[in-house]
Amino acid sequence: MNDVHVPVLSEEICHWLSPKPGGIYVDCTLGLGGTSLKILESTGNNAYILGLDRDPEALAYAEKNLELYRSLVKTYCGNYSHLESFVHKAGFEKVDGVVFDLGVSSLQLDKPERGFSFAYDGPLDMRMNQMEGPTAADLVKVLPEKELADLFFVWGEERFSRRIARAIVEARKTFPLETTQALVAVIKGAVPHAYRKGRIHCATRTFQALRIRVNQELDLLQPALQSAVKLLKEGGRLCVVAFHSLEDRVVKQTFRALAGKDNPAITILTKRPLTASQPEIEQNPRSRSAKLRVAERLAEGALQ
């Protein structure tokens, strides 16, 4: 597989990141390497890239796609929660820009065996790194009803969270919920008929909540954003693309906190999040929910 996935809002990311020749840039969610390739091309292949991804499979694809730029690219399999240690391991103290493209990638969604999508039947996994931690099936198997309901309501914003949690607990008494379609069937049976026919699939929010919990996505985001700001040179920029309201809220609140002090660490360049153009949405429907926020580093001493 050597087709580079074009990330959403790639033109906007490159415009606001404003890469410069000789600059050092961190792609915290490398994916298939599309954002990093765009950064390299915009500098005339004269920039240094540090690429992180917690998914070994995605990282292997990215390394192939960026093979021509091996002297300019360093990649690490790991979580962006360890951003500072990876930057220092690569031999850098400060960087010129950092990019986060949050959420699940097309590579993960389109592989039934990864268990991220309710559109395919596969094992209920959802781990971005399949060598780490419990699967979604493990959580569905053991979490108490109230904890499941709270999970779906808080992290999935699912209004029928209690019904779904109750149905899961009843179903697992009879058979194990180990596949995506087994869980989808339980969800469909738990929600009203009109909800099953709604604009979004009735399993969307439940799957989102489980994925966030499995991968600890929201727990890790705020400290990672703070680390990114700490690593930026004065004038360096941080670009963050979020795909659902929970992620975007964390980004917005973190930016405001870092910009609102007596001695602010950043200035927020996007008063409102940037969204995809209609042509991009038509070409890539996934971009419909994407929101890009950008901040610029102020004096280096402002963040402790």
- Rounded Cα distance between 55 and 59, Å, is 6
Helix H or strand E segment including 187:
helix 180-190
114 Cβ neighbours under 8 A, 6+ residues apart:
108, 122, 125, 126, 130
Helix H or strand E segment including 219:
helix 217-231
Task: Specify the DSSP class assigned to residue 80.
Answer: G
For the chain, give the number of residues.
304
Domain boundaries, the chain: 10-107+217-302, 114-215
Answer whether 128's CB lies under 8 Å from 268's CB. no
Parts of the chain with a pLDDT under 50: 1-4
Question: Are 10-107+217-302 and 114-215 the same fold in CATH?
Answer: no
- Rounded Cα distance between 123 and 112, Å, is 8
pLDDT at 262: 80
| Domain 114-215 = CATH 1.10.730.10 | no
CATH fit for domain 10-107+217-302, picks 3.30.70.260, 3.40.50.300, 3.40.50.150, 3.40.50.2000: 3.40.50.150
Answer whether 238's CB lies under 8 Å from 232's CB. yes
User: Helices (H) and strands (E) in the chain — how many of each?
Assistant: 14, 7
pLDDT at 50: 97
Give the Cβ contact number of residue 194 at 10 Å: 8
Task: Specify the DSSP class assigned to residue 15.
Answer: H
Q: Nearest to residue 121, comparing CAs of 203, 40, 60, 65? A: 203
Dump pLDDT digits (tens) for 232-270: 999 999 999 999 999 999 999 999 999 987 889 999 999
Task: Specify the DSSP class assigned to residue 40.
Answer: H
Answer whether 68's CB lies under 8 Å from 46's CB. no
Q: The tokens 């961190």 sit on which residue?
A: 26
Helix H or strand E segment including 296:
strand 291-297
Dump pLDDT digits (tens) for 161-178: 999 999 999 999 999 999
pLDDT at 194: 95
